[in-house]
Structure 1
Amino acid sequence: MNASPDVRTVTVEREIPHPPEKIWRALTTQHLIEEWLMKNDFGLDLGHRFQLRGDWGQVECEILDVDPGRMLSYSWNHPHADPAFDLESVVTFTLEPADAGTLLRVEQTGFRPEQKQAFGGALGGWRIHLENLEKTVAALD
Structure 2
Amino acid sequence: MSRSIEREIRVEAAPEVVYEVVSSPEHLREWWPDDADLDATAGATGTITFRREDETKVVALTVVEADPPRRFSFRWDYDGEVATASNSLLVTFDLIPSDGGTLLRFAETGYDEAAKSDEVYHDHTSGWNYFLPRLTPYVDRLVHRP
Global fold match (TM > 0.5): yes
TM-score tier by shorter-chain length is 0.7 to 0.9
The TM-score normalised by the length of structure 1 is 0.82
Identity, in percent, stands at: 25
- Give the secondary structure class of the aligned counterpart of 2:40: coil
- Give the secondary structure class of the aligned counterpart of 1:76: strand
**What is the number of residues matched between the two proteins?**
130
Which residue pairs with 1:77 in the alignment? Answer: 77
Q: Which of structure 1's runs of 4+ aligned residues deviate more than 6 A?
A: none
Q: Matches of 1:114 and 1:32 in 2, distance apart?
A: 28
Q: Matches of 2:70 and 2:116 in 1, distance apart?
A: 32
Q: Matches of 2:135 and 2:19 in 1, distance apart?
A: 11
User: Does the 8 Å contact 2:16/2:68 carry over to 1?
Assistant: no
Structure 2 residue ranges without an equivalent (≥5): 81-86
- Give the secondary structure class of the aligned counterpart of 1:44: coil
Give 1 or 2: higher strand fraction: 1
Q: Are 1:16 and 2:11 counterparts? A: yes
Task: Render the CA deviation track for 1:81-111: whole Å, top value 9, x for unaligned.
Answer: xxxxxx6211111011123621111111111
Please give the root-mean-square deviation of Cα atoms over the aligned residues, in Å. Answer: 2.0
How far 1:18 sits from its partner (Å)?
A: 1.8
The TM-score normalised by the length of structure 2 is 0.79
Q: Matches of 1:102 and 1:46 in 2, distance apart?
A: 22
Q: Matches of 1:124 and 1:105 in 2, distance apart?
A: 17
